[in-house]
A and B are shown apart, each in its own frame.
Chain A
Amino acid sequence: MSLKLFRRSLWVYHLNSGGCNGCDIEVINIFTPYHDVERLGIKLVASPRHADVIVFTGPITRETLPKAIRAFFAVPEPKAVVAVGSCACGGGIWYDSYAVIGGVEAFYRILEKYYEIKPPPTVYVPGCPPKPEAIIYGIAVLRGVLKQKQRKTYFIEKEAPTLTRDFIVNLEKYSKQDKRG
């Protein structure tokens, strides 16, 4: 899906939307010689008008919301979003604070409500802060180079022993027969 959007190098605009600078350091870290993502064609640009991808680091505070909306509109279509860090993914430890919008998803809800804009393709990179490799992996998932490993798991307990007075008093005797107890 996302592979069709961008056939050439990704240019990235990095926007701190109220984060603590932890994720910002990790985002800058992937441009250092150790992780050098410019070998993959990913380049950090200074203006959102030059960018394909906008990177949010931070829970989007009330103060940064208008700036985030302006920067978001300045990125030309087609665009994609990378939410780096737990704060941008779901609000982080400030998810219920009065001064915080609560992550990229809440930001999209505001955009849909007031501007009637559908959310662009987004990749969520959890971590506090994520490893630089995790950010590279996230961008690779966005490009469709690597497959996504993380899946939702839902476990339902099927059988549970019925609790009786006799069973719970002589628990050791019963658990010898059935090792699972």
Chain B
Amino acid sequence: MKASRIEIFKEALKTGVVTKKYPFEPIEVPEGFRGKPSIDTEKCIGCGACASVCPPNALSIEVDAKKGVKRIMLFLGRCIFCGRCQDVCPTEAIKLSKEFELSSLNSKDLYQVVELKMARCKICGRYYATVRQILFTARNVPKDQRPLLLLCDECKSKVSAKYISYARW
């Protein structure tokens, strides 16, 4: 059956206008939409799990040995919004919001940097982990083993090797 033009016009009137008035009116984002990731600066412990799991290395970690700080840098210009960082974060510090209006005229505006202080090893004196990370680990470790957290990896293995050799003698 061939529809006449008037019938098509009636059908079009029934449907109405479908065009969204987006730039002048806000729109609703669907459920489960993965938007801009942002780091909660109070919760982040600087463990680097997100950086190790990020496929395009949008999250990267930089250790400044002179200042004794660790920087977690998020560059949205490389982020593919996969949400792996959100899954892996132990403190739920990084989360994907529903925000999608990220356009900027300068690519430097796409950065988010979190700078955390690091702790010195009690034996060799070099920086090895952030203070927040040590405190987070200490809460999940029995009391008698906590002093070992104040040492860097190398000193820790030396000290624990000493204990083992004492036990053998």
Contacts and interface: CB of A to CB of B under 8 A. Distances in A.
A32 to B, nearest CB: 9
B80 interface: yes
B112 A125 contact: no
A89 B78 contact: yes
A34 B19 contact: yes
A95 B57 contact: yes
Interface in A133-171: 133-134, 136-138, 140-142, 145-146, 148-157, 160-161, 163, 165, 168-169, 171
Contacts of B150: 163, 165, 168
B132 interface: yes
B79 interface: yes
Interface in A24-48: 33-36, 39-40
Contacts of B114: 155
Contacts of A128: 79-81
Provide the main secondary structure of the chain B interface: mixed
B112 A168 contact: no
A80 B149 CA distance: 54
A97 to B, nearest CB: 11
A122 B107 CA distance: 9
Contact of B23 (A105, A123, A136): A136
B113 A153 contact: yes
Given A36-B19, A86-B77, A171 B135 contact: yes
Task: Place the interface of chain A in its size category.
Answer: 35 or more
A124 interface: yes
Contacts of B78: 86, 89-93, 95
30 contacts: A2-B105, A34-B18, A35-B19, A35-B20, A90-B75, A91-B56, A93-B55, A93-B56, A95-B56, A95-B78, A103-B77, A124-B103, A131-B100, A133-B22, A134-B100, A134-B101, A136-B22, A137-B100, A140-B23, A152-B112, A153-B112, A154-B115, A157-B117, A157-B132, A160-B116, A160-B117, A160-B131, A163-B131, A168-B135, A171-B135
Interface of B: 18-20, 22-23, 27, 39, 41, 55-57, 69, 75-81, 99-117, 119, 131-132, 134-135, 138-139, 143, 146-147, 149-150
Given A39-B19, A161-B135, A168-B146, 16 more contacts: A34-B18, A35-B22, A90-B78, A90-B107, A103-B77, A124-B106, A126-B110, A148-B103, A149-B101, A152-B111, A153-B111, A157-B132, A161-B131, A163-B135, A168-B138, A171-B139
